[in-house]
Amino acid sequence: MVKIGDILKIEDELQIVVECNKKTVVTMGYINQSIISNQIEEFTFEELKEKSINLVGSISQELLEKAKRKMIFNKVEEFHDLFHQKKEFVSGENQLSYAGRIYDKDEMIALTDASLDFWLTSGRFCNQFETDFAKYLGVKYALLTNSGSSANLLAVSALTSPKLGDKRLLPGDEVITVAAGFPTTVAPILQNRLIPVFVDIDLGTYNISANQIEQALSDKTKAIVIAHTMGNPFDLDTVMEVANKYSLWVIEDNCDALGAKYNGKLTGTHGHIGTSSFYPPHHMTMGEGGAVYTNNPKLKMIIESFRDWGRDCWCPSGCDDTCNKRFDWQLGQLPQGYDHKYTYSHIGYNLKVTDMQAAIGLEQLKKLPKFIERRIHNFNRLKSNLIVLQEDLILPEKTHNSDPSWFGFILTVKDGSKVSRNKIAQYLEKNKVQTRMLFAGNLTKQPAFVTSEYRLASDLKNTDKIMNDTFLVGVYPGLTDEMIDYMSKKIIEAVEFAKL
């Protein structure tokens, strides 16, 4: 009687038994002690009796596990092909989302692979992603976390560490930023009892008015924390010039701009710390997830500490005594030799990701260049189609010296136009074209921020303008030329409708 793991010679071909029940035997081709082919065959016992069969031996548990995983992956691929295929686009019937996840069987298989490990927390897939992502960015260190918002929290919190000495940020210190954006770019500033100083933005690029930064500084200013709006890099030449002149920290919120370049160098890598988000609408996804990256080894260790409960120990999960003096430290007011693994140098969090998320991210990272290419294509096609609306709408413009990696297509109603932003948005939504505002509009007007302590560097005239007159549509890789052209047609119609 054959059993799972047996190596059989069937009609001069070596095969291993991977499934066996009372009626049938399933085999996979066996090449050598480390390689199994994808050839799968199923035999009844009656069929086997009619063949020339010899029992050659049995395979290792390691190789058997590999074979069983292959079989499961084949089933996952079959499931994907049956139930995860894109639906045919029908104009006016299918919703054109502003963003969405793009994936295939590879991500589903990777997720299954990590699930079968049942490691559950950060492990081999996380380690590999951090290595590969750092290599993609061209930085020394990349640390995974559970969201882009957490990435921003870790980045700002890291700058408050006592380990930075006189360079640490203290409560009451000021941070240059903008009010036209996503709330969790600014929230970590307030959460660390720092004071955001809001500078206005430029219409067209929707990025910080870089020429206003220097006049916004005070003797309390210690950092600049701003995002590359909608994948369009901000003026990094001016920002870094001011930062270097006044010894300011720079955090680039790169959550909407992964793959964008400024002067040929990827955004997120010009300042001291960069952050990314892997939430489904972004350039790549792992469901929930984010990353913090830097070239500074001290900042890397501080960020890691804040992410991992605030502990001083840097041992990976499941490892002990990496420093070779686990019981020789004396920190704070702890007794000499207190276990370094349970010594805490920061008021930290637990903001790690699971290996299941990282496994998806590894497959997405391979597709990222194609994703970015398609975003740029969709943006350019949409802009070409909408040139006819320049009399009423401000079309988006890329920053000088930049190569954007577009997250969305921003449109603003011009002053003096009879067009209503809300009427345009309502018309588009009615016609299955999803719209979004430029996130929070003006953060200082939001309920959560009206009572917060902040300083205005100017009257935020343009920020108020986008709050009242700006909207955006998508350019994500799931949009085909047919979809972009339909979207363009409906936007043109919407502008005419909004004039009525």
- Which residues carry out catalysis? 282
CA-to-CA distance for 405 and 376, rounded, in angstroms? 7
Could you tell me the strand order of the sheet in which 265-266 lies? 265-266, 261-262, 402-403
Phi, psi for residue 420 in degrees, rounded to 5: -105, 125
Bin 318: left if φ > 0, else alpha if -120 < ψ < 50, else beta.
Answer: left
DSSP 197-257: EE--B-TTT-SB-GGGHHHH--TTEEEEEEE-GGG----HHHHHHHHHHHT-EEEEE-TT-
CB-CB contact of 272 with 161 (8 Å): no
Q: Residue 416: count other Cβ atoms within 10 Å of its Cβ.
A: 8
DSSP 54: E
Phi, psi for residue 425 in degrees, rounded to 5: -60, -40
CA angle 137-142-147, nearest 5°? 105
CA-to-CA distance for 290 and 294, rounded, in angstroms? 14
E strand or H helix that includes residue 28: strand 24-32
CB-CB contact of 290 with 277 (8 Å): yes
Residues of the chain by 3-state class (helix, strand, coil), percent to 5 = 40, 20, 40
CA-to-CA distance for 167 and 102, rounded, in angstroms? 42
Q: Residue 443: count other Cβ atoms within 10 Å of its Cβ.
A: 27
Among 21, 32, 16, smallest CA distance to 70 is for: 16
CA distances in angstroms from 50 to 11, 44, 45, 380, listed in the order given: 10, 10, 9, 65
Helix, coil or strand: residue 311: strand
Please name every residue paired with 201 in a beta bridge, in sequence order, or none if there are none: 208
E strand or H helix that includes residue 43: strand 35-44
**Per-residue b or e along 428-437, where b marks 16 or more CB atoms closer than 10 Å to that residue's CB:** beebbbbbbe
Q: Which tokens hold the place of 263? A: 């002067």
